[in-house]
A = this chain, B = another copy of it.
């Protein structure tokens, strides 16, 4: 684990930078806005044979998020830091956090932010494989996602809703389905969700009001498009889950988890397994 300070892209020409607190490796300043307010973004990336999978897609999402939150980012520096952290990782996970750094007046950000880039690695969580193969049982979370179009799609550091969803969900469900207050299906607590309907149409919820726009979600959409199976992105009602042929969760670490059982109904897992295998074949997910 190591830390790095990314100079503001906008201010690369500044000859004098304010001195920043030096903090030891593996820690952040208690006055970092990421800690104080969750004022930052992060990416969680699978690493295989020293290679962070789908790194460009992750960095693009991070940069898009920075644009929306007005946090400067030096993408080249971020890429180098991630690659350096993965040098001796055969199988693992790398997390990249980019916060707005320190300063400002309370919630008001400083005019010239000096963002803080934190890159850390951890071992691969082996508990995923069985879920990929056998599929999981899941249910609806009783925590409903709030609607905030300004933050929708972003993988930002304000994740209390997801924490509450996991806190309140049965241990027997490795993932839960989250809706908004109108009971429209949005995503899992740490993943996106897809439905295969009886006509063979692939559907995933619209994320313009809430949810995280996942890198594997995007990759699945692209793969399906390549195979002339366009994915319909739209609002999804809870009742549609029960009438689907297959349901599955996706994210960068789990790849695809088929949903085998939901509200007493048993679902097929064939399409989901095929999709996971395709993602493995293009090295989009871990082949563990």
A-side interface residues toward B, CB under 8 Å? 1, 3, 21, 23-24, 26-39, 42, 69-70, 97, 100, 104-109, 118, 120, 125, 143-144, 146-148, 150-151, 156-167, 181, 189-190
Cross-chain contact B30 with A28 (CB below 8 angstroms):
yes
Chosen A-B contacts, 30 in total, with CB atoms closer than 8 Å, are: A1-B30, A21-B26, A23-B24, A23-B26, A26-B31, A33-B163, A36-B157, A37-B157, A37-B159, A37-B160, A37-B162, A37-B163, A38-B158, A38-B159, A39-B160, A69-B163, A69-B167, A100-B163, A104-B166, A107-B159, A107-B163, A107-B166, A107-B190, A108-B166, A109-B166, A144-B148, A146-B148, A156-B160, A158-B158, A158-B159
Contact, CB under 8 Å: B97 / A30: yes
CB distance from A76 to the nearest CB of B (A): 22
Residues in B with CB closer than 8 Å to A39 are 159-160, 163
A104 contacts across to B, CB distance below 8 A: 166
- Chain B residues in 8 Å Cβ range of A160: 37-39, 69, 151, 156-158
Query: With the chains together, A161 CA to B152 CA distance in Å?
Result: 12
B146 x A147 contact (CB < 8 A):
yes
B residues in contact with A36, CB < 8 Å? 42, 97, 157, 159
Query: Nearest Cβ distance between residue A54 and chain B, in whole angstroms?
Result: 19
**Given A1-B30, A37-B157, 15 other A-B residues pairs in contact with their CB atoms under 8 A:** A26-B29, A28-B29, A36-B97, A37-B38, A37-B158, A38-B157, A39-B160, A69-B167, A100-B163, A104-B166, A107-B163, A107-B189, A146-B146, A150-B161, A158-B159
Residues of B within 8 Å of A42, CB to CB, are 36
B3, B150, B162: which contacts A143 (Cβ < 8 A)? Answer: B150
In the complex, what residue of chain B is closest to A42 when comparing beta carbons?
A: B36
